[in-house]
């Protein structure tokens, strides 16, 4: 019987993972809707690096607050209506950017896009935890993280290439139309996301996870929730700085073209995708916390090499690529660390709120990064970016190593 039933289950799981991956990819693509266009937007609107960075601060501030609230909505109304609403907001942001004629409109774009982005982690992880078979969940998390990185990697190339050829307004219009196509895809696939009241969710040992209602107060008392929030804040402050400003700083520090510097960022993000795939297998060989510690320490080391100019120009792209691979390996371990440390204690009914709150640390970090590092860049202190990335990765390692110990006391 198992042999007969397994292939259809696999196909269903694979379809759901693929669709959730598409949703995650478009959300990450829209993280970089605006930053790749900074070289065009800054002169076009006469704004500074700080003002440009403030757009991303607004995006992630709205997304962070919205993500915590979206967790309540997911637990209350289900995943499909929240997912469709988020994609629609991203489409609106892209179309509005293409018509922007003032800094105020740019800020409105950032806020709308941030609101749309806020729903994806609570929705995605609620779907994966409830719909995917336990023995495939590690690989599902790996593919989820991979799709996000592919979205990040595609955005700089697509947006800068289109802007170079046809202008930044056409690039923004392209992003909006892409989101509309993905909205239509999810609207047509409604049956896959309907709740199954008879399906049991399992924890890491294969035991059923209780569906008992858990109060929000109980969630907010969990030490593990706060540690995971801090962990995401630290790691995404580092990654946000890298995504927003690495091309600018590499171009200035190593005297290479902006296009070549942006290609180094794309190399980091594309190769990180392969690291994420590898991480889906490596997570079975070692504890999640140790994998995270090894990988982020390696990322910090690579960042310090770039900070102090210890390599020739031709080695920048290879170093960025292997740095991306190392950091990417940690992604599946990160998501499984959250599941093990939190959801097995709080239950299935809290998935939306737990993931919404813990992962909102990502948005806080991404909101802080432009303000912290934009100030240094406005004063020409480009090395500070890479030193800061190493510092935040190092602090994230310390936090990850505390998660297992604290979660066991809940």
Distance CA 15, CA 1 (A): 22
Output b/e per residue, 57-75; b: 16+ Cβ within 10 A.
bbbbbbbbbbbbbbbebbb
DSSP character string of 26-53: HHHHHHTSSGGGHHHHHHHHT--HHHHH
Phi/psi of residue 404, nearest 5 degrees? -60, -45
The answer to whether 114 and 30 are in contact (CB under 8 A) is no
Tell me if 28 is assigned to some domain. yes
Output b/e per residue, 209-228; b: 16+ Cβ within 10 A.
bbeeebeeebbeebbbbbbb
According to the model, what pLDDT value does residue 394 have?
94
Tell me if 18 is assigned to some domain. yes
Distance CA 259, CA 261 (A): 5
Distance CA 19, CA 1 (A): 28
Distance CA 373, CA 37 (A): 18
Tell me if 205 is assigned to some domain. no
Give the angle 264-266-269 at the CA atoms, nearest 5°.
115
Is 0.85 topped by the overall pTM? no
Handedness of CA 369, 225, 212, 193 (dihedral sign): positive
Element (H, E) at 20: helix 2-31
Q: Which domain holds residue 308?
A: 9-188+216-407
Tell me the per-residue pLDDT of 227-268, one tens digit each, with 9 for 90 and over: 888 998 999 899 888 987 888 899 889 988 887 888 888 889
Tell me if 201 is assigned to some domain. no
Tell me the per-residue pLDDT of 345-355, one tens digit each, with 9 for 90 and over: 655 555 667 77
Please list the ranges in the chain whose pLDDT falls under 70. 1-8, 190-222, 284, 340-352, 404-410
According to the model, what pLDDT value does residue 396 have?
92
DSSP character string of 282-341: HTTTS-HHHHHHHHHHHHHHHHHHHHTT-S-GGGHHHHHHHHHHHHHHHHHHHHHHHIII
| Cα within 13 Å of Cα(313), Cβ side | 10
Q: CA dihedral in degrees (234, 132, 272, 172; nearest 10)?
A: -80
The answer to whether 304 and 387 are in contact (CB under 8 A) is yes
- CATH classification of the domain holding 249: 1.20.1250.20
Distance CA 324, CA 51 (A): 28
> Within 189-308, where are the H helices?
216-220, 223-254, 258-282, 288-307
Distance CA 8, CA 378 (A): 56
According to the model, what pLDDT value does residue 108 have?
95
The count of structural domains within the chain is 1
Tell me if 364 is assigned to some domain. yes
The answer to whether 335 and 235 are in contact (CB under 8 A) is no
Tell me if 210 is assigned to some domain. no
Tell me if 341 is assigned to some domain. yes
Tell me if 122 is assigned to some domain. yes
């Amino acid at each position: 019987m198992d042999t007969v039933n397994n292939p259809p289950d696999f196909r269903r799981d694979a379809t759901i993972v693929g669709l959730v991956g598409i949703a995650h990819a478009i959300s990450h693509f829209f993280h970089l809707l605006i930053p790749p266009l900074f070289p065009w937007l800054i002169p076009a609107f006469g704004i500074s690096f700080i003002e440009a960075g403030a757009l991303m601060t607004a995006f992630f501030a709205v997304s962070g607050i919205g993500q915590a609230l979206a967790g309540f909505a997911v637990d209350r109304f289900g995943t499909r209506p929240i997912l469709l609403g988020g994609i629609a907001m991203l489409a609106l942001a892209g179309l509005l950017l293409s018509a922007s004629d003032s800094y105020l409109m740019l800020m409105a774009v950032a806020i709308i896009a941030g609101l749309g982005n806020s729903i994806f982690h609570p929705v995605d992880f609620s779907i994966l935890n409830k719909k995917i078979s336990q023995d495939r969940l590690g690989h599902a998390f790996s593919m989820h993280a991979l799709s996000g990185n592919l979205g990040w990697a595609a955005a700089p190339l697509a947006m800068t290439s289109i802007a170079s050829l046809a202008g930044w307004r056409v690039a923004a219009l392209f992003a909006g139309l892409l989101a509309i196509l993905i909205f239509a895809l999810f609207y047509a696939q409604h049956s896959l996301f309907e709740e199954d009241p008879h399906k049991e969710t399992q924890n890491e040992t294969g035991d059923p996870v209780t569906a008992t209602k858990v109060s929000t107060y109980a969630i907010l008392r969990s030490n593990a929730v706060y540690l995971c929030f801090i962990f995401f804040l630290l790691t995404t402050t580092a990654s946000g700085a890298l995504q927003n400003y690495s091309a600018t700083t590499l171009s200035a520090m190593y005297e290479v073209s902006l296009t070549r510097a942006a290609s180094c960022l794309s190399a980091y993000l594309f190769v990180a995708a392969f690291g994420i795939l590898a991480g889906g297998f490596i997570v079975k060989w070692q504890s999640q916390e140790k994998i995270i510690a090894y990988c982020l320490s390696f990322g910090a080391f690579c960042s310090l090499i770039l900070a102090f100019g210890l390599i020739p120009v031709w080695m920048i792209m290879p170093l960025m690529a292997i740095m991306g691979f190392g950091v990417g390996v940690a992604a599946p371990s990160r998501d499984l660390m959250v599941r093990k440390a939190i959801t097995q204690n709080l239950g299935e009914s809290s998935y939306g709120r737990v993931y919404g709150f813990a992962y909102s640390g990502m948005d806080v970090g991404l909101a802080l990064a432009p303000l912290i590092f934009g100030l240094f860049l406005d004063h020409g202190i480009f090395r500070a970016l890479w030193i800061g990335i190493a510092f935040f990765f190092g602090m994230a390692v310390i936090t990850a190593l505390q998660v297992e110990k604290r979660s066991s006391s809940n």
